[in-house]
Structure 1
Amino acid sequence: MKKTLFFLWVILLVGVTSSGFISCTSNEPSPEQVDDSFNDEIYFVSGRVTSGQSSLSGVSVKIDNDTPETMTSADGTYQLFLSKKGNYVLRFHKDGYVDIVTTILFSDNTPNRSSIVVSPDMTLSSAAVTVTPDSEIEIADPTGRAVLSVMSSFAEKTDVSLTVYKELPVNYALGNSLKSEPYGVGYTTVEISPVGIRLTKESTLRVNKQTSDAISFASVDLYQRNTNNEWVKANDVTLDKSRNAYTASITELSSYSMRIPYTVSGGQETVSDHLNGSLDVDNCGNMAARENIEIKVSQLCGWDFVTDLHKEVRSTFSGISQSDEDALCSKITEQITSLEGSFAGFYELPVTLSTASVSGNSVMHYENYAKERILTYSFDIVYQNTPYTIAVMIKKYTGMDERYTNKSCYQHSGGQGQ
């Protein structure tokens, strides 16, 4: 009898204990679920603004006319966010400097979370010269490269300034497309202010060559920038051998560019092994979600020569003088800089790539790699009355490749963003 009661007591005790375990398990909270913020539509525009290779702070950077502006920081960097694809006018302004304007293109097939880097080098506006209606003078920019010859061309007294500045491509697309600028690249670009003043007589814009008369670009045309940020052919350019300069006539104060054609070719954009940054968020064992986690990386940007430019010039133009070699290398570097922005060389750009959310009892792993591309620019040049083509190869970083997993601690799943 005692044994029977003992076994009954054991069975009862086990049943009560099991009941307690079942009750405890059923009361455990479920992990809080949040949407994957990597699916939100967002695009990034960032860059570094310089002036003479020094960072330029306090520059207003604005997309179109109806969006808030941002200002460059002490290191010249800026960042803008867009919530939809489209074409946007990007403007850089700082009092005392020539404005820089370009268009950024996020086409319909642009992957979500794509980035475009635009890094202009801005130029201080030249001091103005007072010109009277009977003036017959020459107005030069501080470098002496460009000169405006005025021959009694103004209807009234006017303060005129001429500034040689570094422009940007008219359009920026994702990774920079391989399509050449339809207007060529600026051999020398000037702003003659106040823009819009009509001249009573033709004046002459002269651009002094940096090379000797033995070498010149095969084709040069004068273009004028219109209100839509397009270059429109304004006049023919004459090679004045007696002055070793390119000249053209103008009838209005405006932005002008003596431009040369070029071609560009290259391979596919690839993901490099350079890690811009990574982030791990371990929320295992925590049923509450974690939100508003900032993702910050140091994006690798810029471009640099693959071709040894001086060696290529010497091999292409046999017998070229040292002064012409140096001047031509400098000019080709300027042309590519006008197409790529900033200066030759790579740099890291601190950027914040929105925020992430991690559900309860989940873990996120994030990696960001630099994208790169090899491009070849070709220019037609006449040397000692013989036409040549010189090809220059560069390497550039073109964007970011995002890789992430955002998964339950008990499951294996994830995704990848571009």
Structure 2
Amino acid sequence: MAQQELKRDLANRHVQLIAIGGTIGTGLFLGSGKAIQLAGPSIIFAYLIVGVALFFMMRALGELLLSKVGYESFTDIAEDYLGPRAAFVTGWTYWFCWIMTAMADVIAVGVYVQYWYDIPQWVPAIVCLLLLLGLNLLTVKLFGELEFWFALIKVVTILGLIVVGVILIVMGFKTDAGTVSVSNLWEHGGLFPNGMTGFLLSFQMVVFAFVGVELVGVSAAETSNPRKNIPSAINKIPLRILFFYVGALIVLLSINPWTELNASESPFVKTFSLIGIPLAAGIINFVVLTSAASACNSGLFSTSRILFTLSKRGQAPSSMKKLTKQHVPGNALWLSAAVVSAGALLSKLIPEQAFGIVTTISAICFIWVWSVILICHIKYRRNRGDLHAESAFKAPFAPFINYAVLALFGLILVVMLVADETRPALMLTPVWFILLYVLYSARKRSLT
């Protein structure tokens, strides 16, 4: 039935801005404060290393997506190259990834609103979630428009920050913390003030900052011209990383010595407060609020689409593949929103720890999904040399770079196991995979 197919209503400008929105979010605007406290100025190198690694992962995903007409997401790819069990585990894990991420984002919404109003974090979190749910239930084109404008706000804000920062550096502007200068990068304990330990411990939050970079792969089924739009979006990722992460952080740490930043607040808001522009600080707080809402919006979109795909395969309740008259998976959206609302409950029960817990779990699960993509690409090159030979969008340096990125992911997981703050979440996460294994086995037995 025509109604049971997703509509290809995302234009090139939507896909481009979805890709930008996927690489700028709560992890940068709020989470970078904690990462800076751990690593100091060396956080710039951490963002650069992870960003480059994820660009190669995205090139692998891009080649895979374009290798076969009919791929709707990377769960289809996992089924082709790793089997139905891997597709089941990866699909549900990706859903869980975005549930955790959306929880972090609604928690962040509560934190940002408290900048103006002394109200419980969970109240604005629930309001934001209900508003985004209502908008997502309309049309996919509206989702694209929302992300277009949300991402545009982020781009303009970071551009403004960089321009203002460069002017202040040239002027030698003085703040309460001292003179604005690039030398602030190394004059407060050096580039690695907390040594390699602090540098490595920052990688968990850095990984979380990049979650969503693969969202362009989820939107493939609703992209009007995937063979043009997907390569275009992926190839722009390196420039975005250099500009939005490396450029913004160099300016931030030139204005603010890293020792002046607080792990629990946005360094972007702190920067404009420090240079004596309270109104601008309020505006920036509004921007980071829209950024959190944007990321939550992406979370609702991706979780509903992955449930739709799983349901079409018989790996989720059949009701999840039912589309509304607007060709939107309404039941899947409602279910995802209901689970995300638990994030608001967490912010009520453990407001101080909630953000750290959900971001750690999210980072671990995303590392799984990204690793599956890289492994599928290795098997694709090995088993389908004919498709690779015909590809117009070959991933560079494969398969060697695949193994290098997988090794980096392994190192990050080892660091998370060693760190006291992230170890509990890492130790609990295998429970999710065991549960999925049991559910798949039970489902398989019921069908035989």
Sort the TM-score into its range (normalised by shorter chain): under 0.3
Query: Which of the pair is proportionally richer in helix?
Result: 2
Q: Which has the higher contact order (CA 8 A, sep 6+)?
A: 2
Larger radius of gyration: 1
Q: More strand by proportion, 1 or 2?
A: 1
Q: TM-score, normalised by structure 1?
A: 0.20
What TM-score, normalized by structure 2, do the two folds share? 0.19
